[in-house]
Structure 1
Amino acid sequence: MAERRMVSKTIMQTQKFLRLPLETQALYVHLVINSDDDGIVEAFPVVRMIGASEDSLGLLVIKQFIKPLNQDMVYFITDFNEQNKIRPDRHKPSIHRNLAIQQLGLEVDGSRLVEPGKVVLELTEEGQTVDGQVTDECPHSIGKYSIGKYSIGKYSIGKGSIDNIPYKEIIDYLNSKTGKKYRDNVQKNRSLIKARWSEGYRLEDFKQVIDNMVKDWSGTKYAKYLRPETLFGTKFDGYLNQGNVVNREKKTDERLGF
């Protein structure tokens, strides 16, 4: 297992992350540092080591920074592959890999464990990884590939890129749940999705918001608000963490400002 771990500003400087309590932020960093090469970590010793509360661990689960694999506090770090790229010849598969595949439906992409449909950074054509690790097939010197088309572009843009937002998949999912015909090429819909994406939310968050509010509003007078303008607006985080509502209409009135 690698002795070095990276944390990315694309994760750490999002509004979603910075809104977490400082203890929870620190716990996340320690979980990343102590994870194996598949982004899986046994959280119990980490929690004990830094004196963090299990509530902080639960908050990371709620915000989907980590996903639980079993009752023994083993977790998968959702954005591990966006922050750490490990050469195939150095990668040591996790002892919990099969558990992650069974519990979360993860897939093996080359040597890496990834979420279905999620693209992660690949090796460049000259054998160098985009994070600067050099394979035996690449000369250890600065050459024509260190600057230019291989430093950006298709080899350095992953699923989380602001230029690769799955507008169509999000809108199609909303339409499938509501029976509506919203279009992904409408600028207003795209700008709402892009705003939330820039805050660090990802496809799974959009689907969760849609699921939560369809469950809460379907069959009520609020069903008309199952639209991009409402769901993907500034109350997105509240909808994402929507729990069981005892008095549905009363609480919905409060959220919508009625």
Structure 2
Amino acid sequence: MTILTETYTLNNGVEIPKVGFGTWQIPNGQKAYDAVADALRAGYRHIDTAFAYGNEESVGAAIKDSGLARKDVFITSKLPAEVKDAKKVEGYFNQTIQNLGVDYLDLWLIHAPWPWNRIGDNHDKDNIAVWAEMVKLYKAGKIRAIGISNFNDHDIANLIANTDVVPAVDQIRYFAGFTQPKNTAAAEKAGMLVEAYSPLATGGLLDDPTITRIADKNNVSVAQLALRFCLQNGTLPLPKASSTAHIEANTNLDFEISDADMATLNALPQQPGNKTQH
């Protein structure tokens, strides 16, 4: 489990644990509370949520009840994708802080460059304005790092050309067979860390014959191989699980995929992937 205590260093010097625990699709209440509590007991120190998930209250309660110091848990949340009005940014930030029961965030992201019901629409000017408000909160010390999610190469270029604060991360859908090479390259060239959500393709990798063969060869599960693949590509996986067994299994990532097997995994045909965004 040593990987859970290892960190990447973001472009502003902040350290972020290399593996995060995702909470997408875990409903607010006992389920979210128990999942986060189990994750923290298993050694996770990086919890990822979002206003849109509707579970910030339970996530915050589990962190508070864990007995861990606030500084020892890295908390990420996200501004809703629908918020493209700069005047509303601070209000949503304050609500997230209240929901979580904390007085600062470690990382706050723009959830997407467009509203979910208008995927692909151009909101370049709106994103610049929203980002400027996030920068103010960051410079005021209310957030340790700020970033983006679901931004493609165009969206990244638009933002960078209009700010003096480069996003710390771009959180995108990323897994073996769907690594978004163009968008990943754009983010990394700009100095951002790529965070990999849905690193198991929402379960879609479990029956892949190539991945299964390599997992068997390494005597690990498909899930463990998929997460290790992300790490060896320099990205930060955000596995989600609700059962204690899966939460604990996903922490056992202290093995090495050979260069040959990594080459095979990286050469998998880029599939469309499940279009469900998070």
TM-score by length of 2: 0.26
Larger radius of gyration: 1
Q: Which has the higher strand share?
A: 2
TM-score by length of 1: 0.27
Structure with the bigger RCO (C-alpha within 8 Å, sep 6+) is 2
